[in-house]
Each structure stands twice: as structure tokens, then as C-alpha cells.
Structure 1
Amino acid sequence: MAKRDRHIVVISKITAKNQVTVPKTIRDVLNVKSSDEIEWELGSDGQITVKRTSPEKNDFWKMVDAQEKKYGRVATPEIDWGEDVGSEDFD
């Protein structure tokens, strides 16, 4: 039986801060870990579908934002090295 063919029911509780822990069984089936993203889809019939989002392989700026949140900004003022010297000055 494939993972998608199983009918799994687990219960989570909503905390006072409106947070929900994704149960281990569901994390295992979705193959997600901390820092992964999941997508919640509400159907017109009221059913909710939760699935793992596919990471954008070429989303460079999303990666930059994540690194900035983790390590802070790396922007530094440009250093003034003085006047440029042309190659004619190296005779």
C-alpha cells in the first residue's frame, strides 16, 4: 500500500497562541522537518489539504532573506582606498 493510499487520522490541539504542532506521523508522511514549509488549502467543501511545498530551486532572494534573518545584514560601508592609480603610473 502506497503512503497516499493510507487513511491516517491524528488529532492536534490549538494552543492559546493559535499554534498547532504537526504530529510526527504527518511529518513523516509529508517528509518535512523544521524550517520546511507546508501549504494549507481550504476546499469549497470545507476540507483542508496539507501538503509539503516544493522549494524554489532558483529563488536566490528567498535564500538571501533567510540568511539575513539568521546572521544579520552583511552590508558594510564601502572603503575609501583613495584616488585610483592608472597603469601609466607604474613605469
Structure 2
Amino acid sequence: MIAIAKITAKGQTTIPAAIRAHLHVGPGDLPAWEIVADGEVRVRRVCPLGLEYLKAVEGTLSEWSGETDKENYREL
């Protein structure tokens, strides 16, 4: 399937409806753009649940963010 979209002067575009349906994306979702080795670009949906999980995990790692820990793990 090929879908063509116009880019505005601000670099914005609308993702065509057929592509949105295929990716299962809608308002508030996060598409990720990736340039692959052969120069093509892939677009995929980023799961918001994954981002929320990573943010939650990040908050639990604060116990290792002290100056002593930075000094002990500097060479890793």
C-alpha cells in the first residue's frame, strides 16, 4: 500500500487514514520514525504503556544516584 501526504511549511503532515488504521494509532499515540541501513524510513507505533513502565522503573533507581555510587561505577 502506498499513501502520499503533503508536508507543510512547518514540517508537519497528516498520516493518511489507511496508514493510521494499519498502525492502530490515533490521537495521543506516538509514532516512531526510524532510518534503516538501506536509507528507507520505517514508522511504527510506540506503546504508551511501555513509556509509562519505563518512567516508573526510572523512579525506583534513584537509590543508586548518589555521589558514592557515581564514583564506584564510573569505570563500568
TM over 0.5: yes
Smaller-chain TM-score bracket: 0.5 to 0.7
Q: What percent of counterpart residues are identical? A: 40
Structure 1 residue 39 corresponds to structure 2 residue 32: yes
Higher RCO (C-alpha under 8 Å, 6+ residues apart): 2
The list of structure 1 runs, each at least 4 consecutive aligned residues, that deviate by more than 6 angstroms after superposition, is none
Give the count of matched residue pairs.
53
Aligned-residue CA RMSD in angstroms?
Answer: 1.2
Q: Distance in 1 between matches of 2:29 and 2:14?
A: 13
Aligned pair partner of 2:47 in 51, 54, 76: 54
Larger radius of gyration: 1
Unaligned residue ranges in structure 1 (runs of 5+): 1-7, 61-91
TM-score, L = length of structure 2: 0.63
Unaligned residue ranges in structure 2 (runs of 5+): 57-76
